[in-house]
């Protein structure tokens, strides 16, 4: 017990306010992209320092340099007064620099416990002490207040839960400097709160925190100072008390945004899709309709069954009961082919696993659903292939040198734009967007919401899943709340307040098993 506690709570080595890490002219060039221009910045001991900026501004690049994941092009990093080479992740960890990366980089096939101790497994005479590790890991997880089992295989958890495990992992190794790269992207408010508690506690223990996020309210809630990056340049650093939302956005994108949540109300048309008492793995007895011209929002905690519901709707997973009506007619949707033929499109939740072919060009990814349309007979029209891809790149401001660059070389938010962009030219009637704006910056979010409106005005319907309540709240014409695989409440546009919806998504007490209709 005591040993865990010590590992968890490294003794503060510096008094607050002193510089712990300093960047001097730090710079990174990728072939074709000057991702980080020479940057000077000093981080103070036990501060929470937020970094904000557009997609592709260079935030993750900075983190990769500090954690030894990527070599820098030039410049120095001064750690506690001495220059540090930071050539390997191991070296960074030895100094006490740890990170929770934007994309979870853990082993999906290993257990949670094995992941937490990866690289420093407990062993006796060369034999892994598996059970001891699970016990230890469980203690750490419980101590952090996360409600997760340590013995399950990591891949069985949701992305959000995996992200929490990654955070837990980073805290166990004598950390003095801990970086979070968009940790809340896949978290719901409840899980995010758990994480914030953890972050504040670490700060109290003298750990310096770097916090990257596209959500301004989180920055104002947590941070002491905030730095803004634009196009690889540090635009400025502010004390959080001396700045505001508008100023930061202005610094980030060099213009102001009056309204992020662009919402137009259209008179709903005919019913496109009706789900009647649909059940399947992870959801039960769900009924809903989607009409042309409306956005149907699905809100709930991670694991509430929303993604399972839409993937079943889309024919990817089996339905055990229930019926689907498409434009009034009963249809069988047994495969994604059936769904696509009817006119559905799905932008899935996980861009890495379901959304992108990472080692293929951006253009190919964008055109994948429409190759049939842009080829005549057997041959692809290369002119159309080019114009279609370039149009999405321009519309969504996907930051890439060319459409031939590999998807893996794009920043996280720009990859997300491909996941959405590939369906926009497809001409579907029902768009299912599962967490469409994860990791997308404010400016582009506004752009995407405007595109939603364009789709609606063309007579399409949208199912929008989000774990970020403001997004569904401001956009959905009809808002369904999911809890543990059931649809537990339905609201019209702004007919309930955040409080009420949150309670419905969380509440265990009001739940009357089987009583929901």
Partner 1 sequence: MSTEAISAERPKRNYNALFGLTLLALLVLLWIILSVATPSFASANNISNLLRQGSMIAILAVGQTFVIITGGIDLSVGAVVGFATVIVAMLINAGVPIFLAILITLLVGVAIGMFHGFGIVKMGLPPFIITLATLTSLRGIGLLMTNGNSISINNDAFQLFSRSSFLGIPNLFWMVILVGIPAYIFLHHSRWGRYLFSVGSNAEASRLSGVNVQRTIYMAYTLSGLCAAFVGVLLASRIGIGNPTQAEGWELQAIASSVIGGTSLFGAVGSVHGPLLGAFILATINNGANLLNVNAFWQRIITGVLIIVIVYFDGLRRRGK
> Of the listed pieces 132-140, 159-167, 204-212, 366-374, which binds partner 1 according to CB under 8 A?
366-374
SS3 360: coil
Handedness of CA 483, 485, 486, 490 (dihedral sign): positive
Residue whose CB is less far from Mg ion, 349 or 441: 441
Do residues 140 and 61 touch, judged by C-beta distance below 8 A? Answer: no
The tokens of 323 are what? 């019926």
Q: Put residue 389 in one of left, alpha, beta given phi > 0 → left and psi -120 to 50 → alpha.
A: alpha
Report in angstroms how near the CB of residue 229 gets to Mg ion at its nearest.
10
Residue whose CB is less far from ligand ATP, 58 or 361: 58
Give start and end residues of each alpha helix (H) in 80-214.
89-95, 112-116, 130-144, 159-171, 189-204
Residue whose CB is less far from ligand ATP, 46 or 415: 415
Please tell me whether residue 69 binds partner 1 under the rule CB under 8 A. Answer: no
| Bridge partner list, 153 | 111
What are residue 263's phi and psi, to 5 degrees? Answer: -130, 120
> Of the listed pieces 301-309, 369-377, 444-452, 464-472, which binds partner 1 according to CB under 8 A?
369-377
> Of the listed pieces 167-175, 378-386, 448-456, 475-483, which binds partner 1 according to CB under 8 A?
378-386
Integer-rounded Cα radius of gyration of the chain: 24
> What is the greatest pairwise CA distance in the chain?
71
> Of the listed pieces 334-342, 437-445, 478-486, 504-512, which binds partner 1 according to CB under 8 A?
334-342
Report in angstroms how near the CB of residue 319 gets to ligand ATP at its nearest.
35
Please tell me whether residue 358 binds partner 1 under the rule CB under 8 A. Answer: yes
Burial class (CB in 10 A: 0-12, 13-18, 19+), 422: buried
Size of the site for partner 1 (CB under 8 A): 37
For residues 276 to 315, the per-residue mask of contacts with partner 1, x marking binding by CB under 8 A and - elsewhere, is --------------------------------------x-
Position with the least CB separation from ligand ATP: 413
Among partner 1, Mg ion, ligand ATP, none, what binds residue 359 when CB lies within 5 to 8 Å by partner kind? partner 1
Please tell me whether residue 336 binds partner 1 under the rule CB under 8 A. Answer: yes
DSSP string, 95-107: HTEEEE-SS--S-
Residue whose CB is less far from ligand ATP, 31 or 126: 31
How far is 333 from 271, CA to CA, in rounded Å? 17
Look-up: residue for tokens 């196009």?
Answer: 231
Tell which residue, 226, 206, 179, 229, has the closest CA to residue 64.
Answer: 179
Please tell me whether residue 53 binds Mg ion under the rule CB under 5 A. Answer: no
Binding site for ligand ATP (CB under 6 A): 30, 33, 35, 53, 55-61, 102, 399, 409-414, 439, 441
When binding is defined by CB under 8 A, the residue of 69, 70, 331, 368 that contacts partner 1 is 368
Please tell me whether residue 478 binds Mg ion under the rule CB under 5 A. Answer: no
For residues 45 to 64, the per-residue mask of contacts with partner 1, x marking binding by CB under 8 A and - elsewhere, is --------------------
What are residue 342's phi and psi, to 5 degrees? Answer: -65, -30
> Of the listed pieces 60-68, 140-148, 367-375, 503-511, which binds partner 1 according to CB under 8 A?
367-375
**H/E element holding 60?**
helix 59-66
How far is 259 from 257, CA to CA, in rounded Å? 6
Report in angstroms how near the CB of residue 27 gets to partner 1 at its nearest.
14
Please tell me whether residue 233 binds partner 1 under the rule CB under 8 A. Answer: no
How far is 419 from 415, CA to CA, in rounded Å? 7
How far is 461 from 311, CA to CA, in rounded Å? 17
Measured distance between the N- and C-terminal CA atoms of the chain, rounded to whole angstroms = 48
For residues 396 to 425, the per-residue mask of contacts with Mg ion, x marking binding by CB under 5 A and - elsewhere, is ---------------xx-------------
Please tell me whether residue 31 binds partner 1 under the rule CB under 8 A. Answer: yes
Residue whose CB is less far from partner 1, 17 or 31: 31
SS3 93: helix
Among ligand ATP, partner 1, Mg ion, none, what binds residue 11 when CB lies within 5 to 8 Å by partner kind? none
Look-up: residue for tokens 């890991």?
Answer: 137
When binding is defined by CB under 8 A, the residue of 267, 359, 508, 513 that contacts partner 1 is 359
| Bridge partner list, 83 | 78
The tokens of 378 are what? 């057997």
Position with the least CB separation from Mg ion: 60
Q: How many CB atoms lie within 10 A of CB 224?
A: 17
Please tell me whether residue 343 binds partner 1 under the rule CB under 8 A. Answer: no
How far is 225 from 302, CA to CA, in rounded Å? 30
Please tell me whether residue 60 binds Mg ion under the rule CB under 5 A. Answer: yes
According to DSSP, the β-strands at 319-326 and 329-331 are: antiparallel
For residues 399 to 428, the per-residue mask of contacts with partner 1, x marking binding by CB under 8 A and - elsewhere, is --xx-xx----------------x------
Contacting residues toward Mg ion, per CB under 5 A = 60, 102, 411-412
Sites of contact with partner 1 (CB under 8 A): 31-34, 231-232, 314, 316, 336-337, 340, 346, 348, 353-360, 364, 367-369, 371-372, 375, 378-380, 382, 401-402, 404-405, 422
């Amino acid at each position: 017990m005591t040993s865990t506690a010590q590992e968890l709570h490294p003794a503060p080595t510096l008094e607050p306010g002193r510089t712990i890490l300093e960047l001097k002219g730090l710079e990174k060039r990728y072939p074709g992209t000057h991702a980080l221009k020479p940057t000077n910045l000093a981080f103070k001991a036990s501060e929470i320092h937020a970094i904000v900026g557009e997609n592709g501004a260079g935030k993750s690049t900075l983190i990769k340099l500090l954690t030894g994941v990527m070599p820098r092009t030039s410049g120095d990093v001064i750690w506690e007064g001495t220059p540090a080479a930071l050539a390997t992740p191991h070296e960074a960890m030895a100094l006490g620099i740890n990170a929770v990366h934007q994309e979870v980089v853990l082993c999906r096939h290993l257990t949670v416990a094995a992941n937490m101790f990866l690289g420093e497994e407990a062993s006796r005479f060369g034999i892994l002490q598996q059970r001891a590790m699970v016990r230890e890991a469980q203690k750490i997880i419980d101590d952090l207040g996360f409600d997760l089992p340590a013995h399950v295989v990591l891949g069985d958890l949701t992305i959000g839960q995996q992200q929490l495990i990654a955070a837990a992992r980073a805290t166990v190794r004598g950390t003095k400097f801990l970086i979070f790269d968009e940790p809340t992207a896949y978290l719901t408010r409840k899980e995010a709160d758990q994480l914030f508690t953890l972050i504040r506690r670490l700060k109290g223990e003298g750990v310096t925190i770097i916090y990257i996020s596209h959500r301004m309210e989180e920055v104002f809630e947590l941070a002491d100072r905030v730095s803004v990056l634009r196009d690889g340049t540090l635009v400025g650093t502010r004390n959080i008390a001396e700045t505001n939302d508008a100023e930061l956005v202005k610094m980030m994108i060099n213009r102001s945004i009056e309204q992020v949540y662009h919402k137009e109300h259209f008179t709903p048309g005919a019913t496109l899709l009706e789900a009647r008492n649909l059940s399947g793995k992870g959801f039960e007895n769900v009924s809903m309709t989607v009409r042309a011209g409306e956005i149907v929002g699905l809100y709930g905690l991670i694991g509430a069954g929303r993604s399972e519901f839409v993937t079943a709707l889309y024919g990817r997973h089996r339905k055990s009961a229930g019926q689907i009506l498409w434009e009034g007619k009963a249809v069988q949707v047994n495969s994604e082919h059936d769904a696509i033929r009817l006119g559905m499109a799905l932008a899935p939740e996980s861009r890495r696993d379901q959304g992108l072919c990472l080692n293929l060009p951006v253009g190919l990814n964008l055109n994948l659903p429409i190759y049939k349309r842009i080829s005549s007979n057997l041959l692809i029209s290369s002119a159309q292939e080019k114009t279609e891809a370039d149009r999405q790149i321009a519309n969504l401001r996907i930051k890439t040198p060319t459409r031939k660059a590999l998807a893996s070389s794009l920043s996280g938010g720009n990859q997300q734009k491909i996941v959405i962009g590939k369906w926009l030219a497809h001409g579907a009637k029902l768009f299912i967007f599962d967490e469409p704006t994860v990791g997308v910056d404010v400016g582009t979010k506004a752009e995407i919401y405007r595109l939603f409106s364009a789709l609606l005005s063309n007579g399409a319907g949208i199912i929008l899943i989000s774990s970020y309540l403001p997004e569904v709240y401001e956009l959905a014409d009809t808002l369904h709340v999911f809890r543990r695989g059931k649809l537990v409440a339905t609201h019209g546009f702004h007919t309930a307040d955040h409080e009420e919806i949150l309670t419905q998504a969380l509440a265990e007490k009001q739940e009357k098993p089987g009583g929901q209709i």
